Amino acid sequence: MADPITILQDRFRAALTAAFGQDHADTDPILRPAQNTQFGDYQSNVAMSLAKTLGKKPRDVADEIVKHLEWQNVCSEIPGVAGPGFINLKLDSAFLNEQLAPLVGDTRLGVTKTHTPDTVVVDYSGPNVAKEMHVGHLRSTIIGDCIARVLVFAGDTVIRQNHLGDWGTQFGMLIEHLIEIGRNTQGAHVKDLNVFYQDAKKRFDSDKDFADRARKRVVALQGGDKETLSYWHTLIDESKRHFNEVYQRLGVQLTDSDIRAESSYNDKLPGVVADLEKAGVLKVSQGASCVFPEGFKDPDGNPLPMIVRKSDGGYLYATTDLAAARYRIDELHATRIVYVIDSRQSDHLAMVFATLRAVGWSRDGVKLEHVAFGTVLGPDRKPFKTREGGTVKLIDLVNEAEARALKEIESRNADLPTQEKKNIAHTVGIGALKYADLSNDRIKDYVFDWDRMLAFDGNTAPYLQYSYTRIKSIFRKAPPPPPPEGVTNSSAILIVQPAERALAIKLLQLPGVIQSVAESLEPHRLCTYLYELAAAYHKFYETCPVLSAPDVATRSSRLALCDLCARTIAKGLELLGIGVVEQM
Ligand code: ARG
């Protein structure tokens, strides 16, 4: 990717090698966009980090680097050394113009595909059959979908996997309950999956005969009894309908073909345990077959077991995850597997990963990553619940997001046709909901706050969507020939004003941002970038007249900048799974 930072990095490495020898050919120049652009556009901290190893003063190291740095053609002046040894770089306008030129007609906005693509399995959403999706599944679904989109754009081969929870002893009670209420009326009952599940559980806990029948039903299910299986399929189909409705409303790219449910690994589980035994890592403890992955201890300091087969012969969540990982590595040929799961499952996953490595099922170089995330909190900073204390259903959040957005649109743009207002409210409401989740550092908990996520200012989706409409409105106002035809692939961008420079530099940062999100799997980095880009645009718009620019060349250059900015915001939002509208 030939964005300014990559070019600068290459030149820094050359300078470091020239100054301090071949050992430094790969040293990270630690280049960052400058916080205070008064002194430059980018800043390098490498002198401070190198000083110790070199046994020199940071400022001397910085001077030495600058002496060897080929800054000409990239920077407008010799880089300055400031403070303890910061190197400040001011980019040359002609260089910026040159860098921007290829972006004007580029749908990829300068982001080239990676030369070392991975086959990435993204494991996300993973709801459970016969249970309503709740707010906890919101995060996995939204973050996972964004990560899949970003990796596709970055050039990886992405395989989405929805590890549906469709197996376990609770199915005895669920099927028995379904039989009792009558399958034919199931439409009405299973429609509210929560009520269905709770009713079954109530029966199970209070009625001994029912509980006995439920236990027998588990055995029948495991034994492949035809009738039992058909009830089980009914539950799965009903649940899938519900999940698909949520995915569709949220604009999540998961389809039925991405489902690889827990039960699909059932016939592999005995083999997993047998192979663990062959590998010599299986130990029997109180009748249960366990693995004791190295480095895991319980609070008393004893080795922590990961049970793979219970004393009654039943298999567990961990066994299925081992089988799933083998399938992904051996049959899907994954080179990277990312698990988008609640941070409370960190230990579980760490033990699964350790076991996979210990027994050599994870080939060398296969990257296993837990994309962990925190909890959604209510205004009381406790896990988000309904006013009655129940779990918040995802579908209710989706409905409320749209309803609240509609109210906002009504008050701003009352004259729009009703259907259009609804469409806008859908895009804005869902966007707000997703962005509130994605813009927070995922590992942290965050407080769910309707007013903040729907605000038209601040780091929110509506702010970015609104910025987009503002830019587009310029094009609606522009006299003929009406852009986008007015902005052609050859429209030259000519950077003159400071606000133009700042905007240009932001626009050129997209490739680096995509790369960093693809590596770190942290969507909030993209959100922060888009927010800064929109802010740079508004500064530009305040100080640089576009339609009433002083001359034709400046006008066309600024229009091209606007167009590029609008497309960058739209692309960034698309990668977050969020849409744009033409007005709002
Ligand atoms: N169904 C699980 C849950 O609700 C999530 C599945 C995550 N994926 C996995 N491979 N374990 O907690």
**Number of Cα atoms under 13 Å in the Cβ half of residue 220:** 19
Provide the number of structural domains found in the chain.
2
What spacing in Å lies between the alpha carbon of 338 and ligand 1's midpoint? Answer: 12
Q: Residues 429-474: pLDDT tens digits?
A: 999 999 999 999 999 999 999 999 999 999 999 999 999 999 999 9
Contact at 8 Å (CB) between 395 and 372? no
Give the contacts of 559 (CB within 8 A, at least 6 positions apart): 474, 475, 478, 483, 486, 487, 491, 546
What spacing in Å lies between the alpha carbon of 391 and ligand 1's midpoint? Answer: 18
C-alpha to C-alpha distance for 298 and 307, rounded to whole angstroms: 14
Which residue in the block uniquely carries the two structure tokens 């959403």?
Answer: 125
- Residue ending a domain, among 231, 255, 279, is 255
Predicted model pTM: 0.94
Q: What is the pLDDT of residue 1?
A: 46
What CATH number has the domain bearing residue 77? 3.30.1360.70
Could you tell me how many residues make up the chain?
Answer: 584
Tell me the best of 132, 140, 163, 166 to mutate to test the pocket of ligand 1, counting ligand atoms within 8 Å of each CB and taking the most: 163
Residue of 127, 237, 234, 216 whose CA lies nearest to 169: 216
The Cα-based distances of 31 to 83, 180, 507 in angstroms read 16, 66, 17
What spacing in Å lies between the alpha carbon of 341 and ligand 1's midpoint? Answer: 7
Q: Residues 261-316: pLDDT tens digits?
A: 999 999 999 999 999 999 999 999 999 999 999 999 999 999 999 999 999 899 99
C-alpha to C-alpha distance for 214 and 546, rounded to whole angstroms: 71
Quick one: 22 exposed, middle or buried, by C-beta within 10 A (0-12, 13-18, 19+)?
exposed
Q: Could you tell me if residue 49 is inside a domain?
A: yes
Torsion sign (Cα): 18, 114, 495, 90: negative
Give the contacts of 463 (CB within 8 A, at least 6 positions apart): 455, 456, 457, 531, 534
Q: Could you tell me if residue 23 is inside a domain?
A: yes
C-alpha to C-alpha distance for 528 and 433, rounded to whole angstroms: 16
Contact at 8 Å (CB) between 474 and 544? no
In this structure, the number of other CB atoms found within 10 A of the CB of residue 116 comes to 7
Token pair listed for 160: 């989405």
* Per-position b or e across 356-374, b if 16+ CB within 10 A of its CB: bebbebbeeebebebbbbb
Q: Is the pLDDT of residue 136 over 90?
A: no
What spacing in Å lies between the alpha carbon of 303 and ligand 1's midpoint? Answer: 25
Q: How far apart are the first and last CA of the chain?
A: 35
Q: Which atom of ligand 1 is nearest to the CA of 348?
A: 11
What spacing in Å lies between the alpha carbon of 166 and ligand 1's midpoint? Answer: 10
Q: Which atom of ligand 1 is nearest to the CA of 164?
A: 1
Give the contacts of 242 (CB within 8 A, at least 6 positions apart): 132, 133, 193, 395
Which residue in the block uniquely carries the two structure tokens 């439409």?
Answer: 187
Helices (H), 91-207: 93-100, 135-154, 170-181, 186-190, 193-206
Q: Could you tell me if residue 34 is inside a domain?
A: yes
C-alpha to C-alpha distance for 564 and 484, rounded to whole angstroms: 11
C-alpha to C-alpha distance for 172 and 175, rounded to whole angstroms: 5
Phi, psi torsion values for 396, nearest 5 degrees? -70, -35
- Residue ending a domain, among 50, 75, 91, is 91
Residue 159 DSSP symbol: E
Domain that holds residue 63: 4-91
Q: Could you tell me if residue 199 is inside a domain?
A: yes
Quick one: 513 exposed, middle or buried, by C-beta within 10 A (0-12, 13-18, 19+)?
buried
Contact at 8 Å (CB) between 154 and 515? yes
Q: What is the three-class DSSP state of 559?
A: helix
Token pair listed for 63: 């001077």
Q: Is the pLDDT of residue 485 over 70?
A: no
Percent of the chain at pLDDT above 90? 82
Token pair listed for 193: 């999956």
Cα 356 versus chain centre, distance: 25
- Residue ending a domain, among 240, 255, 270, is 255
Confirm or reject: Cβ of 341 under 6 Å from ligand 1. Answer: yes
- Report, in angstroms and rounded to the nearest whole number, the Rg of the chain calculated over CA atoms: 28
Q: Which residues pair with 165 in a beta bridge?
A: 128
Q: Could you tell me if residue 42 is inside a domain?
A: yes
The arithmetic mean of pLDDT across residues 250-262, rounded, is 97
Q: Residues 354-369: pLDDT tens digits?
A: 999 999 999 888 999 9
What spacing in Å lies between the alpha carbon of 369 and ligand 1's midpoint? Answer: 14
Average pLDDT, the chain: 93
Q: What is the pLDDT of residue 192?
A: 74
Q: Is the pLDDT of residue 528 over 60?
A: yes
Q: What is the pLDDT of residue 188?
A: 47
Q: Residues 414-424: pLDDT tens digits?
A: 999 999 999 99
C-alpha to C-alpha distance for 68 and 64, rounded to whole angstroms: 7
Confirm or reject: Cβ of 144 under 6 Å from ligand 1. Answer: no
Q: Could you tell me if residue 129 is inside a domain?
A: no
Give the contacts of 202 (CB within 8 A, at least 6 positions apart): none
Q: Indicate the pLDDT class of residue 181, thresholds 50, 70 and 90.
A: confident
Confirm or reject: Cβ of 156 under 6 Å from ligand 1. Answer: no
Which residue in the block uniquely carries the two structure tokens 């052609």?
Answer: 488
Q: Give Dmax over CA atoms of the chain in angstroms.
A: 87
What spacing in Å lies between the alpha carbon of 122 and ligand 1's midpoint? Answer: 12
Q: Dihedral, CA atoms, 122, 124, 129, 135, nearest 10 degrees? A: 180
Q: Which atom of ligand 1 is nearest to the CA of 341?
A: 7
Q: Could you tell me if residue 327 is inside a domain?
A: no
Orientation of helix 4-20 relative to helix 46-54, angle to 10° = 20
Confirm or reject: Cβ of 163 under 6 Å from ligand 1. Answer: yes
C-alpha to C-alpha distance for 96 and 73, rounded to whole angstroms: 10
Q: Residues 58-104: pLDDT tens digits?
A: 999 999 999 999 999 999 999 999 999 999 999 999 999 999 999 98
C-alpha to C-alpha distance for 64 and 21, rounded to whole angstroms: 12
Closest residue CA from atom 8 of ligand 1: 163
Q: Which atom of ligand 1 is nearest to the CA of 317?
A: 11
Q: Is the pLDDT of residue 177 over 80?
A: yes
Q: Could you tell me if residue 185 is inside a domain?
A: yes
What spacing in Å lies between the alpha carbon of 261 and ligand 1's midpoint? Answer: 10
Q: What is the pLDDT of residue 201?
A: 93
Q: What is the pLDDT of residue 480?
A: 59
Confirm or reject: Cβ of 472 under 6 Å from ligand 1. Answer: no
Percent of the chain at pLDDT above 70? 96
Give the contacts of 581 (CB within 8 A, at least 6 positions apart): 423, 424, 427, 428, 465, 468, 469
Residue of 545, 566, 548 whose CA lies nearest to 500: 545
Residue 135 DSSP symbol: H
Count helices and strands (H / E) in the chain.
Answer: 21, 13
What spacing in Å lies between the alpha carbon of 343 and ligand 1's midpoint? Answer: 12
Q: Residues 548-561: pLDDT tens digits?
A: 999 988 999 999 99
Residue-wise DSSP of 6-41: HHHHHHHHHHHHHHH-GGGTT----EEE-SSTTS-S
Contact at 8 Å (CB) between 194 and 246? no
Residue of 289, 292, 327 whose CA lies nearest to 308: 289
Confirm or reject: Cβ of 524 under 6 Å from ligand 1. Answer: no
